[in-house]
Each structure stands twice: as structure tokens, then as C-alpha cells.
Chains A and B, each alone.
Chain A
Amino acid sequence: MELTGAQALVKSLEMEGVEVIFGLPGGAILPVYDPILDSPIRHILVRHEQGAGHMAEGYAQATGRPGVAMVTSGPGATNVVTPLADAYMDSIPLVCVSGQVATSAIGTDAFQESDTTGITLGVTKHNWLVTDAADIPQVVREAFHIATTGRPGPVLIDFPKDVANSTMEWYWPDGVDLPGYQPPSHADPAAIRAAAALVLAAERPVIYAGGGILKSRASEVLRELVDLTGIPVVTTLMARGAFPDSHPLSLGMPGMHGNFTAVTSMQKADLLLALGSRFDDRVTGKVSAFAPGAKVVHVDIDKAEIGKVRRPEVGILADCRLAIEALVEEIRAFGPIDHSRLAPWIATLRRWQAEFPCTYDRHEPASTGSAGSGASRRPTLKPQFVIETLRALTPPDTILVSGVGQHQMWASQYWSFEYPNTWVNSGGLGTMGFAVPAAIGAKVGRPDRMVWAVDGDGCFQMTAQELATATAERIPVKIAILNNAYLGMVRQWQHMFYEERYSEVYLSPDLPDYVGWAESMGCIGLRVESPEEVTPAIEKANEIDDRPVVIDFRTDSMEQVFPMVPAGASNDDIVVYQSQGTSDAEALQ
């Protein structure tokens, strides 16, 4: 069967089970868009290529399957660099196809030419420039294999127009031939034995669960390990949902804005069981002062992560799920575990949880200023209150998506995650504008789930145009803008570290008019200015299932994210909410 390169590409994507492509056509990718008309693959036409990339990421994070984006050459390809970098940092499987000028024009500064493989070299797990149509099925198979196995990540296929227009004899390869790529799978039994011995000897152990739990689908076996050993769990920003927050041994999120107990448990631990986590600087704080008394068992599928930041006592190069399964089996062989050994440690953690919960001032006075002012000011709307209310009014398996900044931290702190793959965010790269397109992608992947995005006003303005995509494609996402009229996280740093010299952070609550903007894109737009309006607005939004909804929550501009470990400081120097006074981790021991 003779096919054009373009037909072979689309057929190869079908063979890989692709159900949706997020993309935007242009000159160099035109040949591929013709066979897309005849393909069962759904194509979602975005308004900006960055949107295509983030949608593919949201799709991948919500489903665990690779997301696919398609863009044209030059600016189309450069616009997708940010999502590729984002997916690379967060190990999200993504396959991006970019058009390229004809092979004869490459290197001549042709119209819409860019060195796409060169530009994306450092932000992809691998990339290809296809120069022969006969290579297409092989390259597509390799691309999906590499994107989804080992440590997952984004890949890019650069596809010149003349290759798309030339012909090839169709075939589908039996497998891949990649002599330099053998992702690890099973753990070394000796390392598992060594890890089990440390687990059974520890008195203050903590499981430090990372995004690798979700990538390897290890949530269930993690729970088995916890129930077997009685060891408490912290879930990093990338692992929220990997272990249910309602579990009595869940300590929540550690790190710069983690809760006091999660942060301090790691500082005081005698054993850290790092499972698919990478000792990110936002988790460790000052590395030399991080968890000083802890022995470390580090399970990771990426050899380069083991010992990169902290040298483990036991390094286990393996798929996280397989390693945890082996560890559970090894520990079971020792017979019943006496959890009472950990009782003093758990009691300490409970005391910290009672004394230093994540909190905010729920009873902000209705009127600031003196009683005689007479002005009837409405009570301030706290962003944390919005998230707590949203959580209470939505199903437990709701997918929560967020942008980057204060709202992201509040979302992670105040949302109770019960299921894996219900939290979609930009962790490593910290890409503002992630939420709207990622929510759209998540909803496309999981149309059965309610999908809410919690976004900031700064973030929303970066990618809001994709709500036109959502309306046109009937993708009913719901967006809660926590509109504090500022680039809030930057403002918080200027407040704390730059003597309240606020430089270029004010955005205005009314410019743009978020309700008007939402409605112009076919969404329902709502505005909420006081606490008592929150519940009715969310209830109304939850009932709308035929179009996107945007709620403009006018929240308190002054609110800050606590706890906080200042950048570069030790986790022992955690700053808690002001009403909790100062914490003295040493005194609490």
C-alpha cells in the first residue's frame, strides 16, 4: 500500500492509539492536515500553539496516556517550546509533531524556518528530523516508546514538507531498535533487602513520595506499604493525589510552602524513603541542612537522580511500582510488623498537626479601620476560603488544575486529594498560564470527571484565549480566578524580602473585565465579591455542563502563603502563619 508521508504519519498515530491531537495548522504542516480530515482521530484547534502543548500535558496528566500536539514550522514550533520544557521538567509523556520547511530549503533561512530540533534539544527526551518518508512508522513508534517508558518525557518529530508529500510503502514495525535505550525495570534484590532492613530498624521514618508514584501507577502498592509498615507519607507537589489526604498517615505537602508537620517530619526523620522524588530545591531548602539525621533510601527510574542532590545509603534504580512491590514482599517475609515501635513518632507528628495546621484568618472583621468610620465594607474574601468551599461542593474525584503562584500553593494546601491523577499543575518549570489549556486537555481526556481550574489573575491573562477553543469544542471546564489584582507571589516576596517595595506587580482587579471577557468567548461569567456569594456561585457553575464557566473571585490582595521556608534557608527556619506565633522545631522535639 503506497501512502504519502503525511498519510503515513497520521496512520502511524492511529496505530499508536492516539484519540486526540491538539494543534494549529500552518504552511509547512499543511500536507498532514489533509489526511486528518479522514482520520478517526479528533483534532482540537487551539488559538495559540502554547495552548496545544499545555492541553496535551493536561490530557497526559489526567489520563496517564501520552498527549499529542501538532504545530507548524518556525513560530508554531517555537511557541510550543514552553510546554515541551514544562513537560520535560515534570516528566510528562508528550509527542509533538512540528512541520518543517522542505529538506532542500533547510539551512537557507527559508520562510518560517527555525532549527526546531536544535532549539528543542535541551527540553525534550529525544527528537527526530525525518528526512525519508520510509522512516515515519519507525520514528513514530520510537517516539511513543521513548515518551512513555523509563522516566517519561516529551519528544518531538520535526517533519519537512517534502517528506510529507513524498510517498512510501506502508509498513508497521514490530518493535523498536534502540541500542542505547534500556529503561530499568526490576529492582536489585540485594538493594531491596538493604532497604527493608533500614525500614524495619527506623524509629522516625517518613515516606517522601514524588511524581514517580503516579508515573509508575504505584498508588495502590504505596498504600499497601504504608498500611503494612505504619510509616507516614509526605506527597510532593507533583505527587498530590498519589496517596489519599484522608488517610491517617498522610502528612500532606512538604517544601517551601508545605505544612509544618510535613516539612518538620523530614527534618527530624531518621529514615527517608524517597520514592520517585528528586530532592528538588523547593523541597529540600538548604541542602546541607536538609533532613540532617536521616538515612536515605532513594528509588528512582532515572540513574542520574540517584545521588544528584543527596547521596543515599541505599540507591535503587528501578520502576517505582516494581520496587515498592518487592519491598512489600521483602518486609512481609519478616512476619507481622509491630507498629507500636513508631507510636512515639506518630504522637509527635499528631501534636505538630494539632498545633500548626495550615490556617488563615477565617474571621476577618467586616470593617477594618475605626468603628466610627461608618463605612460598611464587605468582609474580605479569603482565597483559602474559596478553595475550601470549592472542595466541599465538588465530587471527590474532581480533577483540579492550577496555574503557578500563590493560588497554586493554596490549592495544594487546602484541597483534599483522594485519587491519583486528580491534580494537574506545572511543578518544576513553574509555567504561568498553564491552568486554562491544561484544564481543557484534562477534560478532553476525562470527560466523565468534573474539571476545575484554580487560576490567578496574572496566569489567566496569559492563556485565556483558549476558552474560545473550549467553547467551540464544547469542553465544559470551570475556571476559578482568585483575582487579587496582583502578581501575588512576586508581591509576597517583595513584601518579605524587598522591604515592601512593590515593583511592577499591580494588575488591577477590573482590567480586564474577566466576566465580560469570559462571556465574549462564549463562557458563562460570574463575579463573587464576598464570602456569602461563594457557595451559590460554585453551585451554579457545577450545574452548567454545556459550556465553560469562569468565576472572578475578588480575593484579599494582602493574603500571603504560609508556612514558608525562605529561599536558600534551612527547613528548620520555617515561618508559620502569624497567629501561630513562632515555631521552634527544636523545642517541639
Chain B
Amino acid sequence: MSPDQMAYGPRHRLLSVLVENKAGVLARVAGLFSRRGYNIYSLAVAPTDDERFSRISIVVDVESSPLEQVVAQLDKLINVVEIGELHPDEAREAELLLVSVSADAGQRSQVIQLVGVFSGRIVDVGQDAITVMVAGTPESIDDFENLMRPYGIAGLQRTGRIALPKLDEKSASGAATPAANIA
């Protein structure tokens, strides 16, 4: 995957979907995307501070299907409580990366230095590899991943993009701006 493709391009839009925390909700969302032919670029899901709800952050590929239609169909799922679109310039976005990098004793100090630049942490050390955790904006994660590539990546896992509205953009309730209003 080239850095261009990974960047948040015009064909990608980020939806923040508040859902009831019930069994099978993720299957309902994923099933809707698959049967209507929508594409998910990345997806992250976790409980919110209110145990009744979870938040799903979905990066949608809107090249094949208009965002308005995706939102309207999602909204029909009974367990979907609220859908907001987060524009990149109105949101704080973050992503977490775990990566195992081949680094023998000679290269290890270079890698550790880069980890420091990105405020990452060494979470595991082996004979000729280390595992690093980095959190940051998706773009900085892309940069870090590209910097690690020349050393040789043995394993990599990204969480997918999560986001909340910027504080000065937020309404009092903390909701994202509602997507796609129709009459």
C-alpha cells in the first residue's frame, strides 16, 4: 500500500456511529455494508463511557455509493442511535499501531531513536527484532510505518481510525454534526 492510498483522500469519509451495546450489532452494520455493496476502509469499535452504547468509527469508501445513502441505510438499523460525519479538519483523529521490526543489535539504536521521535514505546524485545507501539494521528502512523519498512516488518496491526469532534466544534452534548439532512 502506497502512502497516497493510505492518506485520507476525498473518496474516504469518516462516520462516527453510536450504537446500542447489544449482541450482534457489529454483524448488523457489517452485513448492511456487504449486502448493499458499500466498502469499509477501516473500522474500529469499542464501548463508550456509557455502558449502554458503543461507538463505531467507520472510514467509508464513497466512490461507489453516496455517503447520504450509506448514512440513511445505517440509520434504519434499529440499534443505531446516532450517526455523525467527522470532517478531518473538524475532528481529533487517532490510531494505534503495533509493529514488529527486524532490528539486530546494530540497527536497534536507529529504530529506538525513531520510536522516540514518534513518542512510541518498545513493548517487546527479541534477539533480532523489537515490537513497538505508536499512537498518533493516522497520518503520523502512516509516516512511522513507512520509516520502519526498510528495516523489515515481521508483523503489523493497526486499529483503524477513531475520532471525536474538536472541542471548539462540538455542541454542548458532544455529538458530532448530524450527517445528511433531508427535508
Contact = CB atoms under 8 A, between A and B. Distances in A.
Dominant secondary structure at the A interface? mixed
Nearest to B31: A121
Interface string B17-44: 0011001100110010001000000000
A317 B73 contact: no
A304 B73 contact: yes
B183 A317 contact: yes
A317 B182 contact: yes
Interface in B79-105: 79-82
A126 B78 contact: yes
Given A117-B24, A121-B27, A308-B69, A315 B182 contact: yes
Which of B27, B75, B183 has the most chain A CB atoms closer than 10 A to its own CB?
A: B183
A122 B72 CA distance: 16
A519 B51 CA distance: 62
B182 A307 contact: yes
Contact of B69 (A146, A178, A304): A304
Interface string A110-138: 00000001100110011001000000000
A518 B121 CA distance: 78
A528 B183 CA distance: 55
Interface string A173-185: 0000011110000
A404 interface: no
A129 B183 contact: no
Given A122-B31, A303-B182, A317-B182, A180 B73 contact: no
Given A306-B182, A307-B182, A118 B27 contact: yes
Given A122-B35, A191-B183, A303 B75 contact: yes
B183 A304 contact: no
Contacts of A19: none
B81 A179 contact: yes
Interface in A285-326: 302-304, 306-308, 314-317
A188 interface: yes
B77 interface: yes
Which of B75, B76, B79 has the most chain A CB atoms closer than 10 A to its own CB?
A: B76
B143 interface: no
Interface of B: 19-20, 23-24, 27-28, 31, 35, 68-69, 72-73, 75-82, 182-183
Interface of A: 117-118, 121-122, 125-126, 129, 146, 178-181, 188, 190-191, 302-304, 306-308, 314-317
Given A179-B20, A308-B72, 16 more contacts: A117-B24, A118-B27, A125-B76, A125-B78, A179-B81, A180-B81, A191-B183, A303-B72, A304-B72, A304-B73, A306-B72, A306-B183, A307-B68, A307-B69, A308-B69, A316-B183
8 contacts: A121-B31, A125-B78, A126-B78, A129-B23, A179-B20, A191-B183, A303-B72, A306-B183
